[in-house]
Structure 1
Amino acid sequence: MRDTPPIVVTGANGQVGFELVRALQGLAPIVALDRHGLDLADLDSIRRVVRDIGPAVIVNAAAYTAVDRAESEEALARRINGDAPGVLAEEAKRIDALLVHYSTDYVFDGCGDAPFREDDPTGPLNAYGRTKLAGEQAVAAVGGEHLMFRTSWVYSATGRNFLTTMLRLARERRELNVVADQIGAPTWSCTIAALTAHVVARYCADRVEARDWWRQHRGIYHLTNAGETSWCDFAQTIFAATNCKDVEVRPITSDQYPTPATRPHNSRLSNDKLFDVFGLRAPDWREGLARCLRDPRT
């Protein structure tokens, strides 16, 4: 493996990036870059770092993820979520590398109650969604080898996310109001990392012999845990699984919990394409949650 070009993982200290560094072990040397190693707001730094490393695969798990703050910092969010992926795509194409990039259900308008497919019309409701859509468009415009995985409602055993927030609030309050009219699939960071690793392993094994196949199948895929629920039901499931019997969860509407950024009511994503092309199907969100809660860090 000494002469094997490495796999670069950006956002290595984030929820998904941390798990990616572990899941990708054994495929190639891993270069894990946190914000100090690669600041996506510095486009010249991106070019310099990628050229210095010369990876075979770039997995971009870094992003501006402060959804509400993006309403007042859209220019910065667009630089990180929109411009930076385009530069990564340019550098990947220049050295014939694969770029794996992550996007979000927030590129859609959330109308209806059917799961969105990859080719459905987009229509983001907030600045975060607009900047992530800009990133998708920038990567696609470059035209190199790329895979973009849209996911939703990501959580993990550590960091700031819905799961850890609910567990913290359960220690502080006896009653919680949680939105019940937004529907999606809570997606464990380990699920994202594991399925990504399967795809990257296949790419590393047959990219030379199957180059035309990979070119035909580049593009956007949806990747979430299976099933659907509301934030309110997700919270109730968390508390039931952790024996927090004293916490009463009260369902409320989105209008009763106003936020700077408008959230879509329908965050369902169809994962059929991921299965049809790669034969991968994620477990139900309840199974993902149960496994996450067994993590000693939770």
Structure 2
Amino acid sequence: MYEVYWKLNSRPFEDGAYPDYYSASPSHQASLLKLRYLIQQNKGIGLLLGDHGLGKTYLTHVLERECLDDGIGPFIRLVFPCLAPGEILNYFAMRLGIQTANVTATESILVQVEEKLREIAQNGGHPVFVIDDAHLLDVEQLDVLRLLLNLHEQGTCRFSMILSGRSDLLSRVQRIKALDQRASVRMALQPLTYEQVQTYIADRLGAAGAEEIFDQRAVRTIWELAQGVPRRINQLCDLALLVGFVDQLPLISPVEVEAAADELVCIQA
């Protein structure tokens, strides 16, 4: 709606609009490198920690694109982890191409999964299991993942597992020592600093074909209100551009950012 007015070739703050937003943040860059290390060195399991909106899921999608370009995969993503322990194992088995309709025993499913993983490894594949919102997993669900990782410990099955969730995921994993000890790769995403937010906004606008639209006071207000969280930054910038378009303004000031913040509160209330 506002693209023509601001002379943009796209909406710069759509979630996932540009694949390199993480380049503004050292913690995101480091986490991506560690995830690649986890897979390339066949380390088994890694934990990706961070509060909502910091870009955990987005970062794993960036990782998936890069790995698939390198012939690494398949990626199997569990978006809704609130399944029974056996259902989680069944889900992974089915995504690997295993027919489990008449199989209910955990041991039997694990045998089939082991055979399939060996076959994939022999063909040069490297499956990656990604579990979003893993902080919602309970002890029984995590224990099923431990059983799956036992196959990795045997050395004949190459695969990686990424548990992505809020910071309290760490305390949940620590309840199962055998799982905690295997999580040798751990990453924690941090909010963007003010300087990083400046770079982030400028890069997104530049990629959309525009130059300065937000004055420096507006950028600082965005950083303060969003607390450095990329998802919140996107929401504020997008709505502020709309407010500026409606009011036919030459630049976005803190007034428009605060109006966008008020609108978000009304939407989310």
Tell me if TM exceeds 0.5: no
More strand by share: 1
TM range (shorter): 0.3 to 0.5
Q: Normalization by structure 1: what TM-score? A: 0.33
Q: Normalization by structure 2: what TM-score? A: 0.35
